[in-house]
Amino acid sequence: MTLPNADAEKARWTASADLWDRWADPMAELADKLNQPLLDAAGVRPGAVVLDLASGAGEPALSAARRAGAEGFVLGTDLVPAMLAGAVRRAAAAEPRPAFAAADMTALPFGAGAFDAVTCRFGIMFVPDAVGALTEVRRVLKPGGRAAFMVWGPRAENALFAAVGGAVEDRLGPDPVHGIGPLFRYAEPGSLAADLARAGFAEAAETALTPTRKAPRGQPFWRATLDMLFGARIADLDARERAALEADIAARFDALAQDDTVPLPAHVRIGVGVA
């Protein structure tokens, strides 16, 4: 598999930052359903000092702060400062409030053993030197601290990506720079645990989550995925082209419908390592 390009990934997320902020609040409840098992895997508890990597618009740092409580501390980081604008906005109304700062997970600006736990939701896949980043994570964890990384399973087992990505690629062709291939870097079972072990983590392991959400038939529940992952690419489409693309996506989900709902199976994996 071709590894992600650091400059291209930074450009991708910079270009889509406003769209992630726009969808962050409408998607918060759904996001928290994924946040909670990740926080469980990392052992985040009241009073914990937590580092969240690739926080984007604030997930799961906001959920981690609620769990760590007033006696804990949560710092959310992201390589792309523009992505954190949404996180800072959302945190202004949060209590307890996490802090946010730009940071490169391959060269973390923190001392050894600074954190009780580290979390990363859908971020490690985009780092060219993933083992280097995992080694840095192990360095900043206290002995016995836990790191938990959530990644996507196979594309075909994630209905939103399969349908929306398929429609975009069929109409616009494959995107050699900002394609969604990196999302599935760790789709192969055991591949993330193997990199955790290479980085020196003890007890490296993975678990799979395969929930199926049911969405209302005929509703554009897929628009968040279209905007957040492909917004920069489709920004130059005219109204007719955009309407045709959306009609194609709607038809794909309509074909999956069962009565009045559309089943949306998902496959995510959580990799855990102990420092």
> Domain boundaries in the chain?
6-155+179-211+267-274
Which tens digits make up the pLDDT trace of 11-30?
889 989 999 999 999 999 99
Q: Write down the pLDDT at residue 185.
A: 96
This prediction has a pTM of 0.96
Q: What angle do CA 61, 65, 68 make, to 5 degrees?
A: 130
Residue 175 pLDDT exceeds 90: no
Three-state DSSP state, 112: coil
The mean predicted confidence, pLDDT, of the chain is 95
Q: Which pLDDT value is given to residue 230?
A: 93
> Helices in 53-203 by DSSP H: which ranges?
61-68, 81-91, 130-140, 159-160, 166-172, 191-198
Q: Look at phi and psi of residue 56 and say left if phi exceeds 0, alpha if psi is from -120 to 50, else beta.
A: left
- pLDDT digit string (tens) for 29-56? 999 999 999 999 999 999 999 999 999 9
Residue 95 DSSP class: S
Helices 239-256 and 223-234 pack at an angle, to 10 degrees, of: 150
CATH homologous superfamily, domain 6-155+179-211+267-274 = Vaccinia Virus protein VP39 (3.40.50.150)
The per-residue pLDDT for range 89-131, each reduced to its tens digit, is: 999 999 999 999 999 999 999 999 999 999 999 999 999 999 9
State how far the Cα of 185 lies from the Cα of 4, in Å rounded to an integer: 9
Structure confidence at residue 204 (pLDDT): 97
Helix/strand/coil (H/E/C) assignment for every residue in 232-258: HHHCCCCHHHHHHHHHHHHHHHHHHCE
Rounded alpha-carbon distances, angstroms, from residue 92 to 21, 88, 259 = 14, 6, 42
Residue 177 has pLDDT above 80, yes or no: no
Which residues fall within 8 angstroms of residue 255, CB to CB, at 6 or more apart? none
Give residue 1's pLDDT: 64
Contact between residue 182 and residue 4 where contact means Cβ atoms under 8 Å apart: yes
- Say if CB 201 and CB 32 are below 8 A apart: no
